[in-house]
Amino acid sequence: MTGERDLIDELSRIFGLPPPQVVCGIGDDAAVIAGQGGEYLLWTVDALIEKVHFDLTYMPLRQLGRKALAVNLSDIAAMGGKPRYALLALGWPPERDLFGALELARGMQEVAQETGVTVIGGDTVSSPGSLSMSLTVLGQVKKEELLRRDGAQIGELIYLTGPVGLAAAGLETLRRGLTLTETERTLLLQAFFDPQPQILAARVLARNHLATALIDLSDGVASDLFQICRRSNVGAVVESTLIPVPAPVAEVAAQIGKDPLELALKGGEDYLLLFTSPPDREKALYLHFSEAGLGTPICIGKIVRGNRVWLRRPEATQDISGMGFDHFRLKEL
């Protein structure tokens, strides 16, 4: 086993196949359980661990609360669903002021109110040394609107709902104390601190049957597109010239001596949507997004035969399958 994905594959072998009422078990953004009246229940959990997901020296607790819920909601969005209820398991370091936990909860409650979610339970324990939390979110989606990772077909187009690399560049800015203009800094830190779960965009895709496969971007395009490919038994070609890399991301990349595309495709924590859609739905896609007041989706490539993710650059084509954030293959970007 060489990383997180291999470990999950092995765990899923141990846990075995789920019973028939489980429409989708291990392997998608959330588990899907057949509910009543043509509704499916969506069930997801994400842990956030100090020093792995956040550093309290630069992450205010209120922001952390916002982000903790937002990244979980992103997994419900990634199934085309509506988030409803959340449970919070909190591991609080006993040496840390307990009032800090209230700040965290206030941040979470802000996002809950913004998205129509209610926190209905949890667990509170001490966690010597580091703050940890785990959020469980329950959502719902109509049976015919469920969007999974496994529906991509050869010839379809691959889209993003926004520019990539901002959060990763924000993290590098904080970590390395980079000097940027105030506008650049604000944009990057906002993306890193306060990701906006793409619930509306996902609902537009789901309601109008505009996507065939959907995932949210937590580990980066290279890794998350590979998950779509693995589940759909297809390959993908991403065109380097089509990747939306904002100028401040390129600026950070230059300051840290990295390739901007690398930061944009492998940095992670974008929490945008990555989806596939048939070419003949392109007009409808743009129209529905524009009618909903959403930015135009950005086409970055195409689904092809095979099982790898290729990045086509003017000078060469490179295999980027599964590259990006992995909990057990940590290396400095």
Residue ranges for the known binding site for ATP are: 122-123, 149, 218
Q: Give the Å distances, CA to CA, from 199 to 11, 47, 89, 119, 315.
A: 29, 20, 23, 18, 37
Annotated binding site for substrate: 53, 269, 325
Q: What angle do CA 73, 216, 276 make, to 5 degrees?
A: 135
Q: Of 26 and 180, which CB lies nearer to ligand ADP in the complex structure?
A: 26
Pairing verdict, β 31-34 and 22-24: antiparallel
Applying CB under 6 A, among 30, 42, 46, 195 the residue interacting with ligand TPP is: 46
Report if residue 54 touches ligand TPP, rule: CB under 6 A: yes
Site map 215..234 versus ligand TPP, x via CB under 6 A: ---xx---------------
Strand partners for 124 = 90
Please identify the residue of the shown chain whose CB is closest to the bound ligand TPP.
268
Of 26 and 56, the one with the shorter C-beta distance to ligand ADP is: 26
- For residue 300, the one-letter residue type is I
What DSSP character marks residue 242?
Answer: G
Least distance in Å: CB of 280 to ligand ADP? 29
Interface with ligand TPP, residue 55, by CB under 6 A: yes
Q: What is the distance between the alpha carbons of residues 166 and 190, in angstroms, rounded to a whole number?
A: 9
Residue 326 in contact with ligand ADP, rule: CB under 6 A: no
Q: Per CB under 6 A, which of residues 136..175 are in contact with ligand TPP?
A: 171
Query: Helices in 16-150 by DSSP H: which ranges?
Result: 61-77, 99-115
Out of ligand TPP, ligand ADP, none, which partner does residue 29 contact, by CB within 5 to 8 A per kind? Answer: ligand ADP
Whole-angstrom distance, CA of residue 155 vs CA of residue 132: 43
Binding site residues, ligand TPP, CB under 6 A:
46, 51-55, 171, 218-219, 268-269, 325
